[in-house]
């Protein structure tokens, strides 16, 4: 039995009542639908509100929202009577016609007042209004036929900019005449095999890696620092080096240890190099804003790529069927993807806030991880320019070098706060807080980090010319070697001779340990 039957108005009345003991403004949490309390929708359409609001601002009157009667108004009643209660949105046709006639009459009256001489004087405003002709009509001068030098320059720059926006290929890097010099005895052996083919008897000497103890060979030929080294894929019988003297050189590892070929095609320091899977070609990226694809054997430049920005890292897709796909991390925060067969840019990954330093493929090459000067890691699905994972913490530093563990489950990232951090390559890409490798000084240098082929050791150069080795399981320092004068920037473990390591430094030397 209902003891009290409220009316409809009472049921829909605003909420009142005693203050709630735990609420600041007296409303219980469940009764809120807004930060400031409880808000009800008014039964007024937004169009109607706009109409009345604008009418009030223009004419000084509006319909009274609180009155139930239709013809109740507030504001200036004289204006209401004069305008016959029209709003800004519903002026009737007859009213519009009346206003047009009134305006026309006013203009005619004004014309009558104007002096006749004024109207006949072409220099006066009255004449212009009457004849509606531009004061410049009839003063057509011949179009200029010759452009000035400044105008020509501006036109060229504008055309180049437009071509860039449309994605057309514009030569933007510095143009350099490519040269190459072969230093070996002969380019083909007595069996007709090219000099880059691996020796027939090379195979892995053992499955167990050991830390090297002494230097067995030194390659010297670069006149300035060496910024990167790469062993020939699978065999390691040759080693490629990128120099700050603008040259790329390739050296013999198994034989006499001589320089086999010099590739000269950049006008500024070479920043990064990358072999194709079969080693017959390689990429080089220089500070002259060019990326070049070279034939390893002949030294010919097959193609050149450029966006007008400095490429900091170049990477080929590791899949054998995608060896024509080039990814480059640029100084303008983008990762640019080229199809090397056509020379066209097929994708741009543009999310970073700083220059891109590394590109590392993970998850069977379906994804890749990039690091940048913006102190973040971003994970991308290959071919899709949307970040699927973004890692950025307040305590993170820039990570200018990243390597994948041989079991592909972990990434080692060289952090500029003098430690190596380990991230999982599985779905979450989480930081492994139990594994961190420290002791070396790398702040300010992009020293490469690397693994032994069996995954037991982690190694990295440092800013004082030392090479550091850590045990992967215990994270303890296993050994340090003094390798270079100045910075030891690059380190590579030999793919087959598993107790041998190559290092390069800013003293211009490459050492084999």
Q: Is the CA virtual torsion 347, 351, 357, 362 positive or negative?
A: negative
Q: What is the mean pLDDT of residues 114-119?
A: 64
Burial class (CB in 10 A: 0-12, 13-18, 19+), 341: exposed
Q: What is the mean pLDDT of residues 29-34?
A: 70
Q: Does position 273 have pLDDT exceeding 70, yes or no? A: yes
Residue, of 63 and 13, whose pLDDT is higher: 63
Q: What is the mean pLDDT of residues 303-329?
A: 84
Question: What pLDDT, on a 0 to 100 scale, did the predictor assign at position 23?
Answer: 62
Does residue 77 sit in the same domain as residue 201? no
Q: What is the mean pLDDT of residues 8-19?
A: 70
Instruction: Tell which of 50, 83, 116 closes a domain.
Output: 83
Q: Is residue 377 part of a domain?
A: yes
Query: What's the rounded Cα separation, in Å, for the pair 133 and 65?
Result: 51
Q: Is residue 17 part of a domain?
A: no
Q: Does position 217 have pLDDT exceeding 80, yes or no? A: yes
Residue positions counted in the chain: 513
Question: What pLDDT, on a 0 to 100 scale, did the predictor assign at position 146?
Answer: 65
Q: Is residue 283 part of a domain?
A: yes
Which CATH number do you get for residue 383?
A: 2.130.10.10
Instruction: Tell which of 83, 98, 125 closes a domain.
Output: 83
Phi, psi at residue 80, to the nearest 5°?
-60, -45
Q: Is residue 16 part of a domain?
A: no
Taking phi over 0 as left and psi of -120 to 50 as alpha, with beta for the rest, 352 belongs to beta
Q: Does position 170 have pLDDT exceeding 50, yes or no? A: no
Question: What pLDDT, on a 0 to 100 scale, did the predictor assign at position 202?
Answer: 65
Q: Which helix (H) or strand (E) holds 336?
A: strand 335-339
Angle at 406 between CA 401 and CA 409, to 5 degrees: 85
Instruction: Among 21-35, 126-140, 274-288, name the one with the lowest average pLDDT.
Output: 126-140
Q: What is the mean pLDDT of residues 302-323?
A: 84
Does residue 348 sit in the same domain as residue 463? yes
Question: What pLDDT, on a 0 to 100 scale, did the predictor assign at position 136?
Answer: 58
Q: Is residue 475 part of a domain?
A: yes
Query: What's the rounded Cα separation, in Å, for the pair 351 and 329?
Result: 12
Q: Are 249 and 263 in contact (CB under 8 A)?
A: yes
Contacts of 441 (CB under 8 A, 6+ apart): 418, 462, 463, 464
Taking phi over 0 as left and psi of -120 to 50 as alpha, with beta for the rest, 132 belongs to left
Does residue 79 sit in the same domain as residue 204? no
Q: Is residue 411 part of a domain?
A: yes
Q: Is residue 314 part of a domain?
A: yes
Does residue 199 sit in the same domain as residue 55? no
Instruction: Tell which of 16, 49, 83 closes a domain.
Output: 83
Rounded to the nearest integer, the mean pLDDT of the chain is 79
Q: Is residue 124 part of a domain?
A: no
Domain that holds residue 47: 25-83
Q: Does position 25 have pLDDT exceeding 70, yes or no? A: no
Q: What is the mean pLDDT of residues 346-352?
A: 83
Task: Say how many domains are in the chain.
Answer: 2
Share of the chain above pLDDT 90, in %: 0
Encode 412-422: b = buried (16+ Cβ within 10 Å), e = exposed.
bbbbbeeebbb
Q: Does position 99 have pLDDT exceeding 70, yes or no? A: yes
Does residue 78 sit in the same domain as residue 193? no
pLDDT digits (tens, 9 = 90+) for 134-148: 655 554 444 455 677
């Amino acid at each position: 039995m209902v003891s009290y039957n409220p009316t409809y108005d009472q049921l829909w009345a605003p909420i009142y009542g005693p203050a709630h003991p735990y609420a600041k403004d007296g409303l219980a949490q469940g009764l809120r639908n807004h930060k400031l309390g409880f808000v009800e929708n008014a039964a007024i359409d937004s169009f109607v509100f706009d109409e009345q609001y604008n009418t009030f601002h223009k004419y000084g009157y509006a319909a009274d929202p609180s009155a139930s009667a239709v013809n109740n108004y507030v504001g200036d009643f004289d204006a209401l009577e004069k305008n016959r209660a029209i709003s800004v949105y519903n002026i009737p046709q007859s009213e519009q016609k009346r206003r047009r006639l009134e305006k026309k009459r006013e203009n005619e009256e004004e014309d009558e007042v104007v002096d006749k001489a004024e109207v006949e004087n072409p220099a006066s405003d009255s004449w212009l209004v009457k004849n509606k002709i531009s004061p410049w009509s009839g003063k057509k001068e011949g179009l200029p036929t010759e452009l000035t030098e400044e105008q020509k320059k501006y036109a060229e720059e504008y055309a180049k900019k437009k071509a860039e926006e449309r994605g057309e290929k514009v030569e933007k890097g510095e143009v350099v005449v490519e040269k190459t010099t072969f230093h070996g005895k002969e380019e083909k052996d007595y069996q007709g095999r090219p000099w880059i083919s691996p020796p027939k008897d090379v195979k892995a000497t053992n499955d167990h890696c050991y830390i090297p103890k002494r230097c067995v060979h030194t390659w010297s030929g670069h006149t300035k620092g060496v910024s990167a080294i790469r062993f020939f894929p699978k065999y390691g019988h040759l080693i490629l080096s990128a120099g700050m003297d603008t040259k790329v050189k390739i050296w013999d590892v198994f034989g006499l240890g001589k320089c086999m070929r010099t590739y000269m095609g950049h006008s500024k320091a070479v920043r990064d190099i990358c072999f194709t899977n079969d080693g017959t070609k390689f990429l080089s990226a220089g500070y002259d804003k060019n990326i070049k694809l070279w034939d390893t054997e002949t030294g010919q430049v097959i193609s050149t790529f450029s966006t007008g920005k400095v490429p900091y890292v170049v990477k080929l897709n590791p899949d054998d069927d995608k060896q024509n796909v080039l990814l480059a991390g640029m100084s303008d925060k983008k990762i640019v993807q080229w199809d090397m067969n056509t020379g066209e840019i097929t994708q741009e990954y543009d999310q970073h806030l700083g220059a891109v330093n590394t590109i590392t493929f993970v998850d069977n090459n379906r994804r890749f991880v990039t690091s940048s000067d913006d102190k973040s890691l971003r994970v991308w699905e290959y071919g899709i320019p949307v970040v699927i994972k973004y890692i950025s913490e307040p305590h993170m530093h820039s990570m200018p070098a990243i390597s994948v563990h041989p079991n592909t489950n972990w990434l080692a990232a060289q952090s500029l706060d003098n430690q190596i951090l380990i991230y999982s390559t599985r779905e979450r890409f989480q930081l492994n807080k139990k594994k961190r490798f420290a002791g070396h000084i790398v702040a300010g240098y992009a020293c490469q980090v690397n693994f032994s082929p069996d995954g037991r050791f982690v190694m990295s150069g440092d800013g004082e010319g030392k090479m550091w080795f850590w045990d992967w399981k215990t994270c303890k320092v296993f050994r340090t070697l003094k390798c270079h004068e100045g910075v030891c920037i690059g380190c590579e473990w030999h793919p087959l001779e598993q107790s041998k390591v190559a290092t390069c430094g800013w003293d211009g030397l490459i050492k084999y340990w």
